[in-house]
Chain A
Amino acid sequence: MTVSELYGWTGKILRVDLSSGIISTVDTEKYVPKFVGCMGVAYRIAWEEIPRGTGAFDPENRLMIMNGPLAGTPSPTSGRTQVSGVAPQCSPEMYSWSGVGGWFGAGLKYAGFDGIIIQGKAPSPCYLWVHDGEVEIKDAGVMWGMGTLDTQRELYRKHGKYVHSLVIGPAGENLSRIAVLLTDNTNAAGQGGFGGVAGSKNLKAICVKGTKSVKIAHPDELLRIRKEISGVPSKNPVVVGAALYADGITVEEALPYQQFNVACAHACHTRCMAAHKDAPSATRPGLVTQSVTCIGPFVFGWPQSGGWGGLEPVKWPLWSGNFERGIESSELINQYGLNEWEILGGMVPWLVMAAHEGVLTEEQFGGPINPSDVEWWPKFLHMLAYREGFGDLLAEGTTRAINTLGKAKYGETIYTGERTREGVPRPTPISIQEAWGYSAHWSGRGIHSTLPYPDWLLRALTWMTSTRDSNDSTHHSAKSEWMEEFKQDPYRGDRGPWMAIWDEHKSELKNALTLCDWAFPRPSRSSIEAELFSVVTGIDTTEEEMDKAGERLKNQVRALIMRNYDRTREQEVNEIMPFFRIPDHSSIPIDEAEWSIMVDHYYEQRGWDKATGWPTRAKLEELDLKDVADELASIGKLP
């Protein structure tokens, strides 16, 4: 395969050294099809270019922004982008990643590139202007200081229609560890704190525009597949008086504002993001974004947690419902370039519960902690984005803030306020931080409390072996017969680890191709990743071969975190165990002895050494990663 025959990929990855101003390219074919694209390519580049000891805000940290071979094509949700590098939100700092929807990935492809590797630090605030194969490092000028929405609009005015931008706000400029990179429709690369990495490089934005085309090997087949997996088309009317789309909760029964749905990624086939039009804000005029998805509904109010699949939710009233306050707060979070998940899923619940227990005082915080008050959110978000007062500590992220103050008091104190399910008290510590610096996410505790046992055991396996929360790219899909078998013997059966591994490999593929983490994988059509890859690239690939590529990626990044951060079984089990010792919504804690057996099975199925959690040479060579095995052997990390 030569570059001129490439389908899907453009064949070039852009490298920009902001210190020297040198711009160069790397041939994508150095990495594909072996590492598939996007996240897989970034893993490999990180392995080659990010040595031990590289800090998140070091100029030599790589900020990698990649699209996949499907980007820019009609493959469903292919406009997604992956951002990665050493992540400041990780505790400790580790290589990590964040996916982002939008149109940027496709725009970058049309501009001529499969990704951008950004290194160094610009001498003054700048942005990248990438257009039809040309790259310019331009003065960010007045944009430094602007919110993310204003920055995007400024670039739109400056460079014209059909541009797409990935930008930071004041939080990123102020090196917040919970700052995002944000793009169209307020899509954010949220987890990881990569907005702060961009800020540390004096990089305000990347703006792309292009007219180049992407070749598809079998376009008719691609459209056939797209149609087969898309639902029946339906109208998308503007409705008034509908219940708000909610993440397992219904905050408002009926909103007197216009509501409809929009796509959050180029080539989306579902449009699951709720949007509003002309809804007023609580304290200030001029709202423009008005879109809500994922954790977003919690900004409108926190009456309870969970409630999926007919399960009784956990009543846990932390702040009252108020749509106008919430839509304003959501926009401010976006404008400042802050991580909405971290704020809603970890930080503000912690603040409320810590204040309730008296461990965090008004004097410490600099005023009352009252998210039910419409005036509270703008003040809180401002102090967080600009590191004012207590906001300076909070900008380090909830986990670091708790650890700095003292985990025993500020994290482990039990919340005595209302938290019940089926009328039974379900106590929780005031911290709902789970592991690696991230708040709880689909683990049977925290905001997704009602994920039942034993489902959360599978999430625990994925959390354990990652550097961030496990729902970065998958919402854990399974066939019902798999689940039934798993539930027969959760800890000791083979099915549970098998399911976690299946999902992890599909997850790697989603980040490498790219695909949306809500719509994929599809257990009922588990070959879909291979099908899409084959018809776009022309490289006929079976499901087994595709999954093997996913396994290669998982092992590549495993090797990276072993080499750079000394990852071992002991380290990762110890990291997640405090969280899973907390009883779930049915008062079930993890069984540590049984868990150890489950981990044994997981490692065995992975071909990893049970004592260390390290991949064996046989496994790495089976995955065509002999050079990785050799390097690990040279540093004494091959079992």
Chain B
Amino acid sequence: MDKKKVPKESGEISRRKFLKDAGLIVGGAAIGSTVLLAACGEGEVTTETVTTTVTETASKFICPYDDQEFTSLSALQSHVESAHPAEVVEVPKAMGYIAQVSIDESVCAGCGTCELVCAAVHEGSVGPSLRRIWLEKEPVELIHHLATCQQCDYPECYFICPLKDEVLCIDSVTGARYINNPDKCLGVGCKFCIDACPFDPPRINFDSENNVVVKCDLCKDRADGPACIEFCNAIALTLQERR
């Protein structure tokens, strides 16, 4: 078990207790699939088996319903769709994701304004734990990488969330995978979504001062759209459609 999944200190609810008390069915998941796998059986155990296996040994994919092994994600997907059709749920795609354009088109100037305006429009405060986009800046190199939430077609963060559709939600208009009801997230504080994110750095941040997760929502409630794109002086960010 990942260290972060260990039950918190006294006073905080453990995941196992929460799952039992809430009586929820927990989603198992395979990275990057286009379907939702609603797991059955032991809930937590199944989920951990799948996520651990899939994320840590990318060459081996295990079906959460019958333990068959596959060498590719697409093979596992095909298997689940044919052998376990009742477990398959369609997830709406996001309208796109924030992407850094090719350096052949425009070079990120490294100013970090994207991180700052992101935090400012969402939180009214700024800081590394409030950003939903990451300027990956080495101290000497002048070419920088921007790490962004990919709004995955198959969103691990969404499936793993114990309060799926209450905290980690999918916006009906933009398809953005976003955090809703931060107060409820605060009550759990599990950070499963961060652990489940397949990227490094995880594209979900943890606001350590308020003990909630924060995540790119494509600025779905903002009239002018994503602030990071609007304020990028170098036009180095774009809303990339998923093909």
Interface residues of A (CB under 8 A from B): 72-74, 79, 103, 106, 110, 149, 152-153, 155-156, 161-165, 183-186, 210-216, 219-220, 222-223, 226-227, 230-231, 233-238, 260-263, 265-271, 275, 277, 288-291
Contact = CB atoms under 8 A, between A and B. Distances in A.
B126 A73 contact: yes
Given A262-B142, A269-B233, A288-B140, A214 B111 contact: no
Contacts of A275: 142
A163 B138 CA distance: 9
Contacts of A234: 233-235
A393 B99 CA distance: 53
B95 interface: no
A219 B121 contact: yes
Nearest 10 pairs of A and B residues by beta carbon: A213-B127, A263-B111, A235-B106, A271-B109, A152-B139, A236-B234, A74-B116, A211-B129, A219-B120, A268-B111
A552 B142 CA distance: 39
A184 B232 CA distance: 20
B124 interface: yes
A210 B121 contact: no
Contact of A214 (B126, B139, B142): B126
B107 interface: yes
Contact of B128 (A156, A210, A227, A277): A210
Q: What is the size category of the interface that chain B forms with chain A? A: 35 or more
28 contacts: A110-B128, A155-B139, A162-B137, A184-B140, A210-B127, A211-B208, A212-B129, A213-B119, A213-B123, A213-B125, A213-B126, A213-B127, A213-B129, A214-B125, A216-B126, A219-B120, A223-B117, A223-B121, A226-B231, A230-B231, A231-B233, A235-B105, A236-B235, A237-B105, A237-B106, A238-B104, A267-B112, A271-B111
B231 A223 contact: yes
B116 to A, nearest CB: 4
Contact of B110 (A72, A185, A288): A185
Contacts of B128: 110, 162, 210-211
Given A234-B235, A263-B110, A271-B234, A215 B136 contact: no
Contacts of A223: 117, 120-121, 227, 231
B103 interface: yes
A219 B112 contact: no
Given A235-B105, A237-B105, A212 B232 contact: no
Contacts, number: 149
B143 interface: yes
Nearest to B103: A238
B90 interface: no
Contacts of B107: 236-238, 260-262
B139 A153 contact: yes
A214 B127 contact: yes
Interface SS of chain B: loop
Contacts of A220: 121
A291 B231 contact: no
A149 B140 contact: yes
Nearest to B201: A161
Contacts of B133: none
A260 B123 CA distance: 33
B141 interface: yes
B110 A262 contact: yes
Given A155-B139, A183-B139, 16 more contacts: A74-B231, A79-B112, A106-B112, A156-B138, A210-B128, A211-B127, A213-B130, A216-B124, A236-B108, A262-B109, A262-B110, A263-B109, A268-B109, A269-B111, A271-B109, A271-B111
Interface in B54-110: 103-110
B236 interface: yes
B9 interface: no
Nearest to A269: B233
B209 interface: yes
Given A212-B209, A219-B120, A74 B113 contact: yes
A11 to B, nearest CB: 14
A162 B110 CA distance: 13
Contacts of A210: 127-128
A164 B109 contact: no
Contact of B112 (A103, A212, A270): A103
A234 B233 CA distance: 6
Contacts of B126: 72-74, 213-214, 216
Nearest to B136: A161
Contact of B116 (A73, A211, A236, A265): A73
A100 to B, nearest CB: 14
B47 to A, nearest CB: 28
Contact of A277 (B106, B108, B142, B233): B142
B121 to A, nearest CB: 7
A211 B129 CA distance: 5
Centre residue among B120, B140, B207 by max chain A CB count within 10 A: B140
Contacts of A237: 104-107
B140 A289 contact: yes
Residue from B126, B137, B234 whose CB has the most chain A CB atoms within 10 Å? B126
A271 B137 contact: no
Contacts of B106: 235-237
A223 B140 CA distance: 29
B125 A266 contact: no
A518 to B, nearest CB: 14
A260 B143 CA distance: 10
Contacts of B141: 288
A459 B216 CA distance: 49
